[in-house]
Amino acid sequence: MSDIEKNEFEENEYEDVCFICRRPESKAGKMFHLPQNICVCNDCMHKTMETVSQLDTNGMLNDPAMAEQWMRMTGMNGSGKTQMPERTENNEQSEDEEEENKPKKQRPYMGGFPNISFVNLSDLQGDGMVPNRQRLKKKKKGNSKPVLDIKNIPAPHKIKAQLDEYIVGQEHAKKVISVAVYNHYKRVATGTMDEIEIEKSNMLMIGPTGCGKTYLVKTLARLLDVPLAITDATTLTEAGYIGDDIESVVSKLLAAADNDVERAEQGIIFIDEIDKIAKKKNTTSRDVSGESVQQGMLKLLEGAEVEVPVGANSKNAMVPLTTINTKNILFICGGAFPDLEEIIKQRLSKQTSIGFSADLKDKFDKEKNILSKVTIEDIKKFGMIPEFIGRLPIVYTLEGLSKEMMVKILREPKNAILKQYQKLLELDEVKLEFDDGALEAIAEKAMKKDTGARALRAIIEEFMLDIMYEIPKDDNIGRVTITREYIEGTGGPIIDIRNNSLASLDTYTQAEAE
């Protein structure tokens, strides 16, 4: 496909946008195509012509005296050419006078209109071209293929089996999200069943930091091949204040769908750090990033038509606006909810602390998955308003990572951290191995950091620094084995020298296997 054909294809694929009002073709109607890729809608063209015609209110065009006076002031004659001023008696002019009297750029004669001239379109030099990220895709006409086919939606057990390849543990969370997504896209694909309208299955996931909330949603969207927008609730504020508008989360989904409204209306929006918009306690100032944001999100979660900017996060930007219906958009909210454990412990420890049936105050301090006992009342007490929680009917928790789960995360997933480093060293024809003691030592260090799976990468980066630095120096190194002593700082890794320094890694491993 040539460049010209490619440009024509892109032009036909996207809607035209008015250069003046920035409305797309679907809203503004038929466009007038001007040079330099400028499009003007019918309304703006008529308003421009009406404005020009209303400028002749004083009869300047029909009054010869006014027209002649204007021509003398501007040095323009009826043909649109600049009149040269008369020379002096000695026919000599100074350099300054010659500079001033040089013919200026000719402009079309506008009769008696002072300070008005037509814009020379060649001066714009392509400024009217709107980038594709600010243009909407045209809606498909006729019997177009639906975005989702109910026959192609994978069953819940297949969704969970694919999630198992990337995510370790969290069996309950993977089962809940698989069923919820399957039911949601059945609802989207069929619309209604026997005239019974099926409600949305928005989700709220609660889990400690580093347990895999965001990674779970990213993996799910990649497997389903649907548009996904991941946003942070900490940037959202009430309308009119500095920060992102609440509708900006839908604008990000539209950008992820390549400005295709039909695909965006069937996508997934994951709002992370949802606990940061909880009601502030003991505050007298206006809470513009807390309860007001929850109230503004109610219409989005339930389903409403909202106007969102195309290619920008703010409605004040000079970009076109489009309307998106959030009825079929699946919202997944996630947050760590710090201090929620204390609220749960207080509720569970309400029994008497004196007598034979007394509960000890520290009875639940050693409970590992105390978050699994969460109720709606606990979330309300944390600071989420009842109307917001009511629009998230599916609430589930993720487990905190144990030492055994940490070891599995290092070794088992398709893109495990250890496999990434082994692949890096394979490029240097070196085989990297980890013994069981080393993996346990890494997991123990990560548990102490209390930041979940994110700590694993930081620990491995720390002790792999010297190895990654030294190995390219020596071509004789064939295999490196990481030991527990090296992780704990009491020893070093085991380095095996290959038999032939010129042998490749494949030759080395084949000879070792024989």
Token couple for 198:
């099926």
For residue 81, what pLDDT band results from cuts at 50, 70 and 90?
Answer: very low
Closest by CA position to 397, among listed 357, 361, 344, 462: 344
Closest by CA position to 383, among listed 423, 339, 348, 424: 339
DSSP per position, 35-100: TTTEEEEHHHHHHHHHHHHHTTTT-TTT-HHHHHHHHHHHTB-TTSPBPPPPP-TT----HHHHHH
Position 257 pLDDT exceeds 60? yes
Position 136 pLDDT exceeds 80? no
For residue 101, what pLDDT band results from cuts at 50, 70 and 90?
Answer: low
Position 151 pLDDT exceeds 80? no
| Residue predicted with more confidence, 114 or 29 | 29
* Mean pLDDT on 136-152: 57
Closest by CA position to 169, among listed 204, 207, 222: 207
Position 372 pLDDT exceeds 70? yes
3-state helix, strand, coil in the chain (%, to 5): 45, 15, 45
400: which DSSP letter?
P
Position 110 pLDDT exceeds 60? no
Which helix (H) or strand (E) segment is 497 a member of?
A: strand 494-497
Q: Do 115 and 73 meet the contact criterion of CB atoms below 8 Å apart?
A: no
Q: C-alpha distances in angstroms, 507 versus 299, 429, 431, 475, 500? A: 63, 10, 12, 14, 9
- Which residues in 274-372 belong to E strands, given as ranges? 305-309, 321-325, 330-335
For residue 333, the model assigns a pLDDT of: 93
For residue 109, the model assigns a pLDDT of: 46
DSSP per position, 202-228: -EEEE--TTSSHHHHHHHHHHHHT--E
For residue 441, what pLDDT band results from cuts at 50, 70 and 90?
Answer: very high
Side-chain-facing half-sphere of 126: CA atoms under 13 Å = 1
Q: Do 433 and 476 meet the contact criterion of CB atoms below 8 Å apart?
A: no
Position 120 pLDDT exceeds 60? no
Q: Do 335 and 272 meet the contact criterion of CB atoms below 8 Å apart?
A: yes
Position 345 pLDDT exceeds 80? yes
Token couple for 112:
């008696």
Residue whose tokens read 């070891």: 407
Q: What is the 3-state secondary structure (H, E, C) of 460-487?
A: HHHHHHHHHHHHHHCCCEEEEEECHHHH
* pLDDT tens digits along 355-367: 555 555 556 666 6
- Considering the chain, what percentage of its residues have pLDDT values greater than 70? 68
Mean pLDDT score of the chain, rounded to an integer?
Answer: 76
* Beta-carbon count within 10 A of 298 CB: 15
For residue 331, the model assigns a pLDDT of: 93
pTM of the model: 0.69
* CA quadruple 211, 216, 219, 223: dihedral sign: positive
Position 385 pLDDT exceeds 50? yes
User: How far is 414 from 409, CA to CA, in rounded Å?
Assistant: 10
For residue 108, the model assigns a pLDDT of: 47
| Residue predicted with more confidence, 81 or 148 | 148
Closest by CA position to 206, among listed 13, 71, 373, 424: 373
Helix (H, G, I), strand (E, B) or coil at 455: helix
* CA quadruple 417, 420, 424, 430: dihedral sign: positive
Q: C-alpha distances in angstroms, 257 versus 25, 27, 201, 264? A: 19, 20, 21, 5
Q: Please enumerate in sequence order all residues whose Cβ is within 8 A of that of 479, keeping only pairs 6 or more positions apart, or say none.
A: 430, 431, 432, 433, 495, 496, 498, 508
Token couple for 99:
């500079």
* pLDDT tens digits along 173-185: 999 999 988 888 8
Token couple for 263:
């695909």
For residue 182, the model assigns a pLDDT of: 87
Q: Do 429 and 505 meet the contact criterion of CB atoms below 8 Å apart?
A: yes
* pLDDT tens digits along 489-504: 888 888 888 764 433 3
Q: What is the 3-state secondary structure (H, E, C) of 223-240?
A: HHCCCEEEEEHHHECCCC
123-130 contacts, C-beta under 8 A, 24 or more apart = 124/36, 124/38, 125/36, 126/36, 126/37, 127/36, 128/19, 128/34, 128/36, 128/37, 128/38, 128/39, 129/36, 129/37, 130/17, 130/19
For residue 443, the model assigns a pLDDT of: 92
372: which DSSP letter?
G
Residue whose tokens read 């909210």: 333
Q: Is 92 exposed, middle or buried (0-12, 13-18, 19+ CB in 10 A)?
A: exposed
For residue 356, the model assigns a pLDDT of: 57
